[in-house]
Amino acid sequence: MKFAVTISDSTEMIEVSGAGGRFRVTIGEQVWDVDARLTPQGISSLLIDGSSYVADVKDEDGFFRVDVQGESYDIRVEEETRHIIRTRGRAAGGHGSQIVKAPMPGKVSHVSVRAGDTVNAGDPLLVIEAMKMENEFKARAAGTITQVRVAAGQTVNPGDVLLIIE
Protein backbone atom coordinates (compact mmCIF):
# COMPACT_ATOMS: atom_id res chain seq x y z
CA MET A 1 0.00 0.00 0.00
CA LYS A 2 1.52 3.34 -1.07
CA PHE A 3 1.05 6.70 0.60
CA ALA A 4 2.07 10.23 -0.30
CA VAL A 5 3.43 11.76 2.89
CA THR A 6 3.78 15.54 2.93
CA ILE A 7 5.71 17.61 5.48
CA SER A 8 5.60 21.36 4.77
CA ASP A 9 6.12 21.47 1.00
CA SER A 10 7.97 18.24 0.40
CA THR A 11 6.19 15.01 -0.47
CA GLU A 12 7.66 11.54 -0.30
CA MET A 13 6.15 8.20 -1.25
CA ILE A 14 6.04 5.61 1.51
CA GLU A 15 5.17 1.98 0.98
CA VAL A 16 3.72 0.03 3.89
CA SER A 17 3.07 -3.70 4.15
CA GLY A 18 2.53 -6.10 7.01
CA ALA A 19 -0.01 -6.87 9.69
CA GLY A 20 -0.43 -7.69 13.36
CA GLY A 21 1.85 -4.93 14.54
CA ARG A 22 4.79 -5.92 12.32
CA PHE A 23 5.37 -3.81 9.26
CA ARG A 24 7.82 -3.19 6.49
CA VAL A 25 8.17 0.48 5.56
CA THR A 26 9.96 1.69 2.44
CA ILE A 27 10.88 5.34 1.88
CA GLY A 28 12.85 5.77 -1.34
CA GLU A 29 15.79 3.39 -1.13
CA GLN A 30 15.48 2.82 2.60
CA VAL A 31 13.65 -0.14 4.08
CA TRP A 32 12.78 -0.47 7.76
CA ASP A 33 11.29 -3.29 9.79
CA VAL A 34 8.93 -1.67 12.24
CA ASP A 35 7.20 -3.22 15.21
CA ALA A 36 4.42 -0.72 15.96
CA ARG A 37 1.89 -0.65 18.75
CA LEU A 38 -0.66 2.06 18.08
CA THR A 39 -3.15 2.87 20.83
CA PRO A 40 -6.55 4.56 20.66
CA GLN A 41 -5.05 7.17 23.01
CA GLY A 42 -2.67 8.25 20.23
CA ILE A 43 0.53 7.28 22.05
CA SER A 44 2.40 4.85 19.82
CA SER A 45 5.41 2.67 20.45
CA LEU A 46 7.65 2.15 17.45
CA LEU A 47 10.57 -0.25 17.40
CA ILE A 48 12.39 0.70 14.19
CA ASP A 49 15.16 -1.81 13.50
CA GLY A 50 15.42 -2.21 17.27
CA SER A 51 15.49 1.48 18.24
CA SER A 52 12.64 2.41 20.56
CA TYR A 53 10.59 5.56 19.92
CA VAL A 54 7.35 6.83 21.37
CA ALA A 55 5.35 9.02 19.01
CA ASP A 56 2.18 10.92 19.81
CA VAL A 57 -0.17 11.15 16.85
CA LYS A 58 -3.01 13.64 16.95
CA ASP A 59 -5.67 14.10 14.29
CA GLU A 60 -5.87 17.67 13.09
CA ASP A 61 -8.04 19.11 10.36
CA GLY A 62 -6.84 17.03 7.39
CA PHE A 63 -3.42 16.14 8.75
CA PHE A 64 -1.64 14.46 11.65
CA ARG A 65 0.45 16.26 14.21
CA VAL A 66 3.18 13.86 15.27
CA ASP A 67 5.29 14.59 18.35
CA VAL A 68 8.43 12.52 18.77
CA GLN A 69 11.44 13.17 21.03
CA GLY A 70 10.42 16.80 21.55
CA GLU A 71 9.97 17.46 17.83
CA SER A 72 6.62 18.24 16.31
CA TYR A 73 5.68 17.55 12.67
CA ASP A 74 2.48 18.38 10.79
CA ILE A 75 2.10 15.57 8.29
CA ARG A 76 -0.45 15.01 5.57
CA VAL A 77 -0.93 11.39 4.50
CA GLU A 78 -2.89 10.43 1.38
CA GLU A 79 -3.21 7.25 -0.60
CA GLU A 80 -0.90 7.61 -3.56
CA THR A 81 -3.64 7.55 -6.21
CA ARG A 82 -5.68 10.17 -4.39
CA HIS A 83 -2.62 12.37 -4.10
CA ILE A 84 -1.90 12.13 -7.80
CA ILE A 85 -5.47 13.03 -8.74
CA ARG A 86 -5.54 15.97 -6.35
CA THR A 87 -2.21 17.46 -7.35
CA ARG A 88 -2.74 17.06 -11.10
CA GLY A 89 -5.69 19.43 -11.09
CA ARG A 90 -4.14 21.99 -8.79
CA ALA A 91 -4.14 25.57 -9.99
CA ALA A 92 -2.41 28.58 -8.52
CA GLY A 93 -5.73 29.87 -7.17
CA GLY A 94 -5.92 31.21 -3.65
CA HIS A 95 -2.28 32.13 -3.62
CA GLY A 96 -1.62 35.33 -1.72
CA SER A 97 -4.89 35.39 0.18
CA GLN A 98 -4.99 34.94 3.91
CA ILE A 99 -8.07 33.36 5.41
CA VAL A 100 -8.00 34.07 9.12
CA LYS A 101 -9.82 31.35 11.03
CA ALA A 102 -10.60 31.00 14.70
CA PRO A 103 -8.20 28.41 16.17
CA MET A 104 -10.26 28.00 19.32
CA PRO A 105 -13.72 28.73 20.62
CA GLY A 106 -14.16 32.15 22.16
CA LYS A 107 -15.79 35.53 21.98
CA VAL A 108 -14.75 38.33 19.64
CA SER A 109 -14.04 41.25 21.93
CA HIS A 110 -12.80 43.76 19.39
CA VAL A 111 -12.43 44.09 15.59
CA SER A 112 -9.83 46.64 14.49
CA VAL A 113 -10.36 46.53 10.72
CA ARG A 114 -13.14 47.00 8.15
CA ALA A 115 -13.56 45.65 4.64
CA GLY A 116 -11.48 47.75 2.27
CA ASP A 117 -8.80 48.59 4.85
CA THR A 118 -5.21 47.94 3.85
CA VAL A 119 -3.01 46.30 6.44
CA ASN A 120 0.69 45.67 6.88
CA ALA A 121 2.24 42.55 8.31
CA GLY A 122 1.91 42.65 12.09
CA ASP A 123 -1.07 45.04 12.14
CA PRO A 124 -3.73 44.09 14.67
CA LEU A 125 -6.86 42.59 13.10
CA LEU A 126 -9.06 41.52 15.96
CA VAL A 127 -9.08 40.23 19.53
CA ILE A 128 -10.70 37.01 20.72
CA GLU A 129 -11.29 36.42 24.40
CA ALA A 130 -10.78 32.78 25.30
CA MET A 131 -9.64 31.04 28.46
CA LYS A 132 -9.47 34.35 30.33
CA MET A 133 -6.99 35.84 27.87
CA GLU A 134 -7.33 38.52 25.26
CA ASN A 135 -5.72 36.94 22.18
CA GLU A 136 -4.74 39.45 19.54
CA PHE A 137 -4.67 38.35 15.90
CA LYS A 138 -2.25 40.14 13.60
CA ALA A 139 -1.89 40.19 9.83
CA ARG A 140 0.73 37.68 8.62
CA ALA A 141 1.39 39.69 5.46
CA ALA A 142 0.34 42.99 3.92
CA GLY A 143 -2.91 43.13 1.95
CA THR A 144 -6.43 44.47 1.68
CA ILE A 145 -9.28 43.27 3.89
CA THR A 146 -11.91 41.89 1.54
CA GLN A 147 -14.30 40.43 4.07
CA VAL A 148 -14.94 40.76 7.79
CA ARG A 149 -17.29 38.02 8.86
CA VAL A 150 -17.49 38.63 12.59
CA ALA A 151 -18.40 41.47 14.91
CA ALA A 152 -17.51 42.31 18.50
CA GLY A 153 -19.54 40.30 20.97
CA GLN A 154 -19.98 37.36 18.63
CA THR A 155 -19.12 33.84 19.76
CA VAL A 156 -16.92 31.83 17.40
CA ASN A 157 -16.04 28.15 17.05
CA PRO A 158 -12.77 26.61 15.86
CA GLY A 159 -12.47 26.83 12.07
CA ASP A 160 -14.91 29.73 11.69
CA VAL A 161 -13.65 32.20 9.10
CA LEU A 162 -13.09 35.54 10.83
CA LEU A 163 -11.87 37.63 7.92
CA ILE A 164 -10.16 37.40 4.55
CA ILE A 165 -7.17 39.42 3.35
CA GLU A 166 -6.20 39.47 -0.34
Partner 1 sequence: MLREHRINKLLIANRGEIAVRVIRTCRELGLATVAVYSEADREALHVLMADEAYPIGPPEPAASYLAIDRIVQVAKAAGADAIHPGYGFLAENPVFAEACLAAGLTFVGPPPAAMRAMSDKTAARRMATEMKVPVVPGTSSPVSDDAEAARAARDLGYPVMIKAVMGGGGKGMRLVSREADLPAALRMARAEAGAAFADGSIYIERYVAEPRHIEIQVLADAHGNVVHLGERECSIQRRHQKLIEESPSPFVDDAMRARMGKAACEVAAAAGYVNAGTVEFLVDRDRNFYFLEMNTRLQVEHPVTEMVTGLDLVREQLRIAAGERLGYRQDEVRLRGAAIECRINAEDPFAGFMPSPGTITGLRAAEGPWVRNDSGAYEGYTVPRFYDTLVAKLIVWGADRDAAIRRMARALGEYRIVGVHTTIPVLQRVLAHADFRAARLSTALLERMLPMFRPAEGRYRPVAMIAAALTAYERLGRTPAIPPSPSPGPWRLGARRGWGPPRP
Q: Which residues sit at the interface with partner 1, rule CB under 8 A?
A: 1, 3, 5, 7, 12, 14, 16, 19-21, 23, 25, 27, 30, 32, 34, 36-44, 46, 48, 53-58, 64-75, 77, 79, 103-106, 109-110, 112, 124, 127, 129-136
Q: Toward partner 1, which CB reaches closer, 58 or 86?
A: 58
State in angstroms the smallest separation of the CB of 163 from partner 1.
17
Q: Toward partner 1, which CB reaches closer, 69 or 92?
A: 69
The closest alpha carbon to 108, from 79, 92, 128, 136, belongs to 128
Cα dihedral across residues 86, 89, 92, 96: positive or negative? negative
Nearest-angstrom CA–CA distance, 61 and 99:
15
State in angstroms the smallest separation of the CB of 162 from partner 1.
13
